[in-house]
Structure 1
Amino acid sequence: MTQYATELQMYVGLREIEKTTSQAAQYIDDLKSGGQLDEINLELTISSELKSILKDVKSFGDININTRSFTPQLKAGRKDQAQNLVPTIPTIEQIKPSMLRQLTIPQDMKPFDIRACRILPDGKYLILDSHSDKSSLLLFINVGLFMKEVMKFKGRSWDTCFIRTNTVAVTLQLQKQIALVDVEKNKIFKSINLSHYCGSVASDGQILLVSSNHKSTIVNLNDMSYTILEGIVADRVALFKGNIYGTMYYKNKVCCYKSTGEPLWTFMHDDINGAQGLTLDKNGFVYIVSMYNKSVVVVSPDGKTCKTILSVADGSKSLYAIDINRETGIMIVSSEISVDEDGSFGSYKKQYETAFVYKI
């Protein structure tokens, strides 16, 4: 039932089970109250007429009757405990984001060029604003207001990810480096040099996965040992339950690999055109930014079906980065917006990048 039934089917099924067990419990109660379960012993009394025959026999013995009530121990689940329904994993058709808020970008920081957006465990938002000559790591509080600039970097940075307490990783592409940043102290405390360009980065707290268009590298964060994965070529990567997920921008592919780099499945669909940002929710559904379709597409955990959950009809424009907090189900997506501004020749529309926050 927990594997195949809907919540309604589970409810009806549990009611039928309870009905049957209640009848059995009532039957046992009736047996108990009616005495049918009492222990019965027979008593034999020798007739006086037989005494003359049995004159030489003094006694056959004594027979005593001991009657003891039978007391069954019946534990009715309904009396002692609540019935727990096992949470069911939603189907792909049930996934529908609802808008919560928009990040407020300070006027002096515009225009933005968001390459990555992350939701930290405490609910704050980390934005990577990246340009050709410089990049900035910016922190926003839970309600979407700007808090502080964490770090500045020379040159373009493509991605960032949370590692563990106050620590995030930032890719420094041309330097072939990963910078480990303390967001509380606003400083780089360690740099990791790699043999290839650093495109995207992901971490589960124990390892760091860094991808490029040629190969990928796994860095063990405990001893800083390296493992090269020649078979994994991806523009964006993510980790989930020991598996590696990647998008291939030009080939419009979403791929799933074992931790060793062995392919598990590859998914392609017309709804995915220019695959960029990549993340997963707690149930293993894969969320992809389809850049040219200006949409967000969800792929099933087995890589067989997909569904578009955000599109131009929802106000999506120039999407690029995405992230999900798997504990809270909060999703953040970068997008472009139009703002009315006044100029020398009257008001006009100007395009700015920001990020929208959703509940899924």
Structure 2
Amino acid sequence: MRKSIDDFLTNLEHKILVDLESKHSKLKSKMAILVQQMEQMASKINEMQSDFTKMTEYATELQMYVGLREIEKATSQATKYIDDLEREDHFSERNLDYIRNITSKLQSILQDVKSFGDININTTPSTLRVKAGRKDQAQHLVQNIPGIEQIKPSLIRTLIIPKDMKSLHIKACVALPDGKFMVLDKNKNQLLLFSNNGIFIRKVFSFTSDPWDACFVRNNTVALTLGTERLTAVVDVKKDIIIQTIKLSHYCKGVASDGQILVISSVDESTIVNLNDMSHTILGGLKGNRVALFQCNIYCTIFGGNKVSCYKSTGELLWTFINQDIINSAGITLDKNGFVYIASNGNNSIVVVSPDGKTCKTILSEDDGIKDPWAIDINRETGMMIVSSTISDNSRSYCSAIAYKI
């Protein structure tokens, strides 16, 4: 309901702004034409004044007589033009006024709607399992982490892409701690910021080289990999400036951070960057186009594959999960419980893999509106997930991103 109201008000706002722009342009055009005509008439009058001065100096009486007849004819036309301007109300002041037209029904929302609903406490039987031991000792086994079958994302909203930006090719998505979203546009090499309501706010930064991936780091900063440039840039989102560049010996494709380190991956090797002293550790056996971090473990996918791999921070392989439900794996992220979320680009779905890398489940598919997913991110504190997807609108398709609650 909140989204419907937001979309409706946004549409009303857009209509009145379009109307304002149209009327302002029309008024401005008329004024420009009028000023041009008046300047032309003023030029003619200046020419007549010059001609009159020359006649008084050099002309004979007969020439003066003929010349004055012509000047009189021209001045009559100028006088008639000025009279017509005044008669047709061209000299009146014109202002753009806004006539407020808010219906009482819309205003009544502020008075009549007191709540979106009531919160009740429902009691269900306990799932606590007790394993008895000695009489003076007992172990209580509580299932804190939900099972994979319990993961069911709830649709929140779709980012509203402005009409002049519907050629986006979203390479990466970032769910920020404050509820805002960022997307990395490969088409124009730019980083874009959206509000928590999905409204476009502004362009944060643009790049001359080709960006590949992005992630939140800490303190209003995000890191972006610049592919074949072998560079990773750390950007301050509030100041819109690059505050750090990291040069590596390999391509920079996937990037992930926990606030203390950066993991920058490629299909050749990967590098861990310590953000405190900027020291580098190269992991030769860790390879991936996309990368994620969780509790000191590193997770990777390779484009075109059907697997996800989990490594220790030392580069030692812990497990690899391969499944036919994963086709052309792309973006990767994890939730607060360690479940691995993969954008399965080849079959238009989002697949979740269990923390031990043994089972998986498709939680979103083409039936849920997912098409050509490439990027995915989860903010573990808020449980907000954002997924890039192709959207169809009035027979036109364009790239956007969809937000869910995990």
Cα displacement string for residues 32-87 of structure 1 (whole angstroms, at most 9, x for unaligned residues) = xxxxxxxxxxxxxxxxxxxxxxxxxxxxxxxxxxxxxxxxxxxxxxxxxxxx9967
User: Displacement of 1:251 after TM fit?
Assistant: 2.9
Residue of structure 1 equivalent to 2:164 = 108
Aligned to 1:135: 189
Provide Cα deviations, 1:206-226, integer angstroms capped at 9, x if missing partner. 111000110001111111111
Letter in 1 for 2:376: I
TM-score of the two chains, using structure 1 as the length reference: 0.74
C-alpha distance in 1 between matches for 2:127 and 2:143: 11
Q: TM-score by structure 2 length?
A: 0.66
Mean CA deviation greater in 253-262 or 102-111:
102-111
Q: Distance in 1 between matches of 2:310 and 2:141?
A: 32
1:255–1:106 CA distance, 2 compared to 1 (3 A): same
Say whether 1:289 aligns with 2:335.
no
Q: 346, 354, 357: which one pairs with 2:403? A: 357
Matched with 1:326 is 380
Stretches of structure 1 lacking an aligned partner (at least 5 in a row): 1-6, 21-83, 341-348
Do residues 154 (structure 1) and 212 (structure 2) align? no
Which whole-Å deviations, capped at 9, do the CAs of 1:210-268 have from their partners, x for residues lacking one? 00110001111111111110001101100000100001223321000000000000000
Using the alignment, how far apart are the partners of 2:199 and 2:294 within structure 1? 30
How many percent of aligned residue pairs carry the same amino acid?
59
Query: Could you tell me which residue of structure 2 aligns to residue 89 of structure 1?
Result: 145
2:302 equivalent among 248, 260, 268: 248
Structure 2 counterpart of 1:202: 256
Look up the SS of the partner of 2:300 in the other structure.
strand
The secondary structure found in structure 2 opposite 1:292 is: helix
Partner of 1:225: 279
Match of 1:312 among 366, 377, 381: 366
Find the residue that maps to 2:271 and give its secondary structure.
strand
The answer (yes or no) to whether the contact 2:130–2:141 under 8 Å persists in 1 is no
Deviations 1:113-137 (A, max 9, x none): 0000011111110110112xx4100
The superposition leaves residues 136-191 of structure 1 with CA deviations (integer Å, 9 ceiling, x where unpaired) of 00111111101111000013211011110011111111211011100000011121
Count of paired positions: 278
Runs of 4+ aligned structure 1 residues displaced above 6 Å come to none
Shift of 1:11: 5.5
The equivalent of 2:179 in structure 1 is 123
Matched AA of 2:276:
N
User: Greater strand percent: which structure?
Assistant: 1
Superposed CA deviations along residues 311-354 of structure 1, whole A, max 9, x for unmatched, are 011111111100111112111100001111xxxxxxxx111000
- Distance of 2:129 and 2:334 partners within structure 1: 33
Retained in 1: the 8 A contact 2:129–2:141?
Answer: no
Offset, 1:8:
3.8
CA distance in 2, matches of 1:87, 1:250: 36
Partner SS state of residue 189, structure 2? strand
SS class of match (2:149): helix
The aligned counterpart of 1:338 is 392
